[in-house]
Structure 1
């Protein structure tokens, strides 16, 4: 049994043993075992405490590093958020449209700076005010707009700026719902004053254009009537004179009377051509649904010539069209008439062909005539332009000009394929749906 002093007790236990126990008790075997166990427990506790302190010291260091890293990340994210918010504010401020949010009663919750630019009212003085305070002159129109059941409501409404200047605002608002209950509106206000002004001008120009066209129609009719009256008189007088002095007329004098009446008929044809050209494409004809074979039959029976004429049809004769049959027939008649009138072959052959796609029909009229030189491919569509002298072939030079004008109005195009001495082929497109009126206006109106 070791002596008390020989055992390396824990320092606290050793002090208590010396202070409290007499030597005989301290040396008792049972107590000695107990004291050794207590000493072991003290030692283990001391080791555990050292390890815990070490762990706490390490954890504290790691927590400090983690906290410092989190602080750095938080600072970076805060800076990024501030930069993003600044950029967002700059973007919103640069938008020319007013971004607006209203509550269910129409009170303004949010507006961007574009409102100040457009109206002169500051955003701060408008927040929490009802938006209809600024559109008081259009309350009835706004009421009708809000009563609509559409999810997005649109209108063009007049407003007076802070300086009492009249402008027009394009309003687009989308209803916002929360649990199927109207929570408010979100949308945009945009300055459409220039557009409204342009539309008013356009309507004014269109009214003027319609009036001018009506006046031109009346003028063309009156002029043609007034011009044809003296021509008929000249024709009648020449016939009467010829009858009265027929026994004196012979040779060149008789030919000159015939030439005079020929010139009178040509002048009347020119006047009729001018009248037809002025009306081409502007007078609407009724749309019809028909099989193309019926149109071909009409064309076949229309033309007579001193030379034999053979027609060839290239296409499905059961093709169904729903369009202005009269206008389409007029185009084909003019092209076929040209192919017959100027044909230099002993037997005339006219081919009419067609095909279709989803948006249009494509027709062609080909002849076996003398052909047209490339430098004249554009010229022949100009009114009164003919390639042969009128003394050789009687022609007004109006037919192809009418064809071009009608196709321009309908949104079609025409082109020529021709080789000298091998005939001519006119190819044109005929839209299945007419060009929209606004597209025609944009194409033809120089004020837009």
Structure 2
């Protein structure tokens, strides 16, 4: 009865079905068979448990995979939309670039062009692709330049080439192309094309203006030379005639008449100085002189030694003795000579003190020339740099009024500044800047 109950109630359902179907009752109740059936039942039970656990795991994994798949689908959708947006923005950026982005195959045929090509040349991008780059440049000069640019090498080549647009307009393109290689072989060129018509036109006009200016300056120099010669000749004649007349009638001349003859020759001498001053002013800043490197202290010492006067004269030199400068020495000499000369000429003191100094301001030098003279009233600080302007009557102090005008003109050419510090009755100091690195001549 125990065996029958076990068979009916404890075996796995699959095993019970097989017992009923295949085993006769007497065999099913045999003790050996019972042990075998119990082992099989245990295997079925474990298998069922494993199957249940597997189904649970698969169910959980399936849910996780579903969620992951849904998340991946969402991310893929976002990335696709982002890529599409980026691609659109890239197309817009490329389309808005004013320069032509170009790609050529090794034979020089267009394989890529952006919309700027059509904007600049008027030729549609769609019909230009596949065509030879050389075909758009009809002149022999332009073709020769392109042959050089489209020669394979390692460096980027730049050239300015004239092009005739689709509507017959002449334009200049700045072409910059670089060869590119793949697997060691040359397969084409990449680069840019830019519309440089405005720049080329401006350069052409500038060259024309430069030639005109050089011609005008040459004519001006010639004119100044001729005028100087033609004006000085009669002045010398007047001076000589006055001396001859004075010699011929010397026994008839009295004190006032002699003074008039002296005044006449003085006016002739002043007129000659004015002519020389005008010539110097017209040439100031225009004469090309060589830049040279020299020591400032030695230069100033040599310059101060060239001055002399009837009054006691003392020079005070201030500045770093080791400072060197590279500059147009002649122009700097003109400035310092005029400032020192004025400090001596207009000095009202019994003993003349002149101070010359310099400072390194980093990007430029500052020079200064001071004197112990009468000083300059503030209302004249600008006027004294105007040509022919003098603070004292020329009959009191002989002056052309050109020296400071030359100083100002030279400094204006150098984009430098000059200022005045003056105390009435105590003296005046002129400060001016000088570029440390002057622009090289082109």
TM-score scaled by structure 2? Answer: 0.91
For residue 177 of structure 1, report the CA deviation from its aligned partner: 3.1
Q: 1:244 to 1:66 in 2, by over 3 A?
A: same
> Residues 410 and 435 of structure 1 are in contact (CA less than 8 Å); yes or no, is this contact kept in structure 2?
no
Correspondence 1:309 to 2:287: no
Taking the aligned partners of 1:257 and 1:317, their CA distance within structure 2 comes to 51
Taking the aligned partners of 1:293 and 1:11, their CA distance within structure 2 comes to 120
Identify the residue that residue 234 of structure 1 maps to in structure 2: 238
Identify the residue that residue 77 of structure 2 maps to in structure 1: 75
> Residues 361 and 429 of structure 1 are in contact (CA less than 8 Å); yes or no, is this contact kept in structure 2?
yes
Q: Where do 1:230-309 residues align within 5 Å? A: 230-292=234-296, 294-309=298-313
Q: 1:150 to 1:57 in 2, by over 3 A?
A: closer
Q: Cα deviations across residues 371-399 of structure 1 (Å, max 9, x unaligned)?
A: 22233222222211112222221111111
Q: Cα deviations across residues 251-285 of structure 1 (Å, max 9, x unaligned)?
A: 44433332222222111111110001111122223
Identify the residue that residue 430 of structure 1 maps to in structure 2: 434
- The counterpart of 1:98, out of the listed 84, 97, 100, is 100
Q: Cα deviations across residues 60-103 of structure 1 (Å, max 9, x unaligned)?
A: 22222222221121111111111111111111111111011223
Q: Secondary structure at the match of 1:435?
A: coil
> Residues 292 and 321 of structure 1 are in contact (CA less than 8 Å); yes or no, is this contact kept in structure 2?
yes
Identify the residue that residue 345 of structure 1 maps to in structure 2: 349
Q: Secondary structure at the match of 2:211?
A: helix
284-293 or 306-315, larger mean C-alpha shift: 284-293
Q: Cα deviations across residues 289-334 of structure 1 (Å, max 9, x unaligned)?
A: 5444553454234222221111122234465444433332222211
For residue 105 of structure 1, report the CA deviation from its aligned partner: 2.7
Q: Where do 1:18-417 residues align within 5 Å? A: 18-137=20-139, 138-146=142-150, 151-292=155-296, 294-317=298-321, 319-356=323-360, 359-417=363-421
For residue 112 of structure 1, report the CA deviation from its aligned partner: 0.6
Identify the residue that residue 12 of structure 2 maps to in structure 1: 10
Q: 1:319 to 1:241 in 2, by over 3 A?
A: same
Taking the aligned partners of 1:148 and 1:218, their CA distance within structure 2 comes to 54
274-283 or 60-69, larger mean C-alpha shift: 60-69
> Residues 326 and 437 of structure 2 are in contact (CA less than 8 Å); yes or no, is this contact kept in structure 1?
no
For residue 425 of structure 1, report the CA deviation from its aligned partner: 1.5
359-368 or 185-194, larger mean C-alpha shift: 359-368
For residue 22 of structure 1, report the CA deviation from its aligned partner: 2.4
For residue 216 of structure 1, report the CA deviation from its aligned partner: 0.9
Taking the aligned partners of 1:20 and 1:298, their CA distance within structure 2 comes to 137
Q: 1:147 to 1:329 in 2, by over 3 A?
A: farther
For residue 146 of structure 1, report the CA deviation from its aligned partner: 4.6
Taking the aligned partners of 1:277 and 1:307, their CA distance within structure 2 comes to 29
315-324 or 193-202, larger mean C-alpha shift: 315-324
Taking the aligned partners of 2:186 and 2:420, their CA distance within structure 1 comes to 64
Q: Cα deviations across residues 381-440 of structure 1 (Å, max 9, x unaligned)?
A: 2211112222221111111111222233344433222222221122223334422446xx
- Specify every segment of 5 or more residues in structure 2 that has no aligned partner in the other structure, as ranges: none
Q: Secondary structure at the match of 1:302?
A: coil
- RMSD after superposition: 2.3
For residue 350 of structure 1, report the CA deviation from its aligned partner: 1.0
89-98 or 65-74, larger mean C-alpha shift: 65-74
Identify the residue that residue 442 of structure 1 maps to in structure 2: none
Q: Cα deviations across residues 123-179 of structure 1 (Å, max 9, x unaligned)?
A: 111222222222342121223345596622111111111122211000112232334
> Residues 336 and 350 of structure 1 are in contact (CA less than 8 Å); yes or no, is this contact kept in structure 2?
yes
Taking the aligned partners of 1:192 and 1:85, their CA distance within structure 2 comes to 30
71-80 or 222-231, larger mean C-alpha shift: 222-231
- Specify every segment of 5 or more residues in structure 1 that has no aligned partner in the other structure, as ranges: 439-448
Q: 1:287 to 1:81 in 2, by over 3 A?
A: closer
Taking the aligned partners of 2:47 and 2:76, their CA distance within structure 1 comes to 41
> Residues 377 and 422 of structure 2 are in contact (CA less than 8 Å); yes or no, is this contact kept in structure 1?
yes
Taking the aligned partners of 2:244 and 2:54, their CA distance within structure 1 comes to 142
For residue 363 of structure 1, report the CA deviation from its aligned partner: 2.4
Q: Secondary structure at the match of 1:371?
A: coil
Q: Secondary structure at the match of 1:363?
A: strand
> Residues 108 and 150 of structure 2 are in contact (CA less than 8 Å); yes or no, is this contact kept in structure 1?
no
